[in-house]
Chains A and B, each alone.
Chain A
Amino acid sequence: MKTILRLSVNGTPREDAVAGNALLIDYLRDGLGLSGTKQGCDGGECGACTVLVDGLPRLACGTLAHSVAGREVETIESLSHEGNISRLQRAFHEHLGAQCGFCTPGMIMAAEALLRSNPQPDRAQIREALAGNLCRCTGYVKIVDSVEAACGTEHAL
């Protein structure tokens, strides 16, 4: 049965009729067309579906849409404005942090959550924050490089 779900998605307040058993990832991708969030393992093990809920990383494939009622949900689409990608996204681009790119939205959202709470993490802290995100192109070194580069000065990129 569908009931009204009220929440904020990427800064926009929304009211949508959503089924009680709808997953957050299906609501975002199929309901709102925000297909940047990826469905990887679909079982809570790979982190490709990571979005932010009230600033904290959460797995959209294992979260009921209604459980985030009243909360602020942010997806990868929220990071770019008027065609300009964020510093973190640019760092992934410049430092080859994306290979096939499928894990990248989840990696970037998990890294975004880290940088908001700890703007100058060391490599161990970056690796810890991304421990729940799998990359099957084996690009971890470049991914950690990218996050590290995004912590640099504004002029570094």
Chain B
Amino acid sequence: MNSLPDFQYLRPATAADALRMHAANPASHYIAGGTDLMPNIRRGLVTIGAAIDLGGLGELAEIVEQGGALRIGSGVSLARIAAHSEVQVRLPAVAQAALSVAGPTHRAGGTLGGNLCLDTRCNYYNQSEAWRAGNNYCMKRDGEGCRVAKKSKRCYAAFSGDVAPALIAMNAEVEILGARGVRRQPLTELYQDDGMKWLTLAPGELLLTVSVPLDDVWVSAYEKVRMRGAIDFPLAGVAVALRREKDVLTGLRIACTGVASQPLLIDGLDAVLGKPLDDASLALIAEQADLANRSMKTTLVDVLYRRGVSLVLAKRLTQRLWDAAA
């Protein structure tokens, strides 16, 4: 790792303060746990003029039930989300996803906001300066062209956050503070499929909270596949939210991570609703999940494996939730 470059350390008193600080220092970055940003700065992947530390903002550190939804501040640590009884019982996919992030030390510092805004990852990007120089860099940082898809004009680095698919499957909304005040939008709209600009946030905009509807009719689960059991990003991760009424499947939302530059909500699942879950339904789920999958050779593991394992996870979790909801 390189030494840290010289930068200013700023500590805002409020979220609005943080926005003003960012406007005054355009090369600044918001930092909370720093578990992903700090290694990236030290690898020379991020240019930083000032670090705006959101860690002291109490307004971002609350979990409250409000209007039939659970409102989780972007500054809440992943450890706290994973251990929160309401999240565990009513939003199990979210608790499971938070618990699957890295190791306990990362989760104690890493925050919900940090995991949702996690930088996209690629074999050719998350490397030391010397390694990247030896491979002539890439378009995501310091170079030109894509090393994964040589003729591509876009970057295919993969979004690898665990919590986003769980929240998307649970129909979450986010509150964003920008120059024109606070706006509210579905979490899916926070992302776009571009490895270099995977977030739709304008410069300086700040993710404040995430609201997840507390509808007890839905059951949910999250599972990921990774190279090693701890401190690893997903090769593929799948969250499923399912609603069963007697012997009829009345709702199904499946979201994936690690298989595109954004978390993906799988389309085209309406055909499996209104009847019991059967083998034909599972085949259609697998087909739709495969259609959406945009895995590229951004990890050391083969693309076909990541595609295949995504389908297996989608079918396995759906079947498990269906059986458990009987």
Contacts and interface: CB of A to CB of B under 8 A. Distances in A.
B86 interface: no
B163 interface: no
A20 B105 contact: no
B96 to A, nearest CB: 14
A57 B9 contact: no
A43 B42 contact: yes
B38 A132 contact: no
B51 A20 contact: yes
Nearest to A134: B231
B35 A59 contact: yes
Contacts of A20: 7-9, 51
A62 interface: yes
B231 A132 contact: yes
A59 B106 contact: yes
A67 B105 contact: no
B145 interface: no
Interface string B76-119: 00010000000000000000000000111110110000000000
B31 A44 contact: no
B152 to A, nearest CB: 28
Contacts of A80: none
B178 interface: no
Nearest to A65: B9
Contacts of A78: none
B39 A44 contact: yes
Nearest to A59: B105
A21 B6 contact: yes
A54 B145 CA distance: 45
B39 A43 contact: yes
Given A21-B9, A23-B4, A131 B31 contact: no
A44 B104 contact: no
A1 B8 contact: yes
A97 interface: no
B129 interface: no
B138 to A, nearest CB: 20
Interface string A44-57: 11010010000011
B106 A66 contact: no
Nearest to B77: A56
A23 B230 CA distance: 24
A43 B31 CA distance: 16
Contacts of B43: 43
A62 B38 contact: yes
Contacts of B108: 56-58
A42 B38 CA distance: 10
Interface in A82-135: 110, 113, 128-129, 131-133
Contacts of A44: 35, 38-39, 106
Interface in B42-90: 42-43, 51, 53, 55, 79
A10 interface: no
Nearest to B2: A42
Contacts of B231: 45, 131-132
- Interface centre among A47, A57, A59, by most chain B C-beta atoms within 10 angstroms, is A59
Contacts of B4: 21, 23
Interface string B109-152: 10000000000000000000000000000000000000000000
5 contacts: A44-B106, A64-B34, A66-B53, A110-B104, A132-B104
Interface of A: 1, 3, 20-21, 23, 42-45, 47, 50, 56-59, 62-64, 66-67, 69, 110, 113, 128-129, 131-133
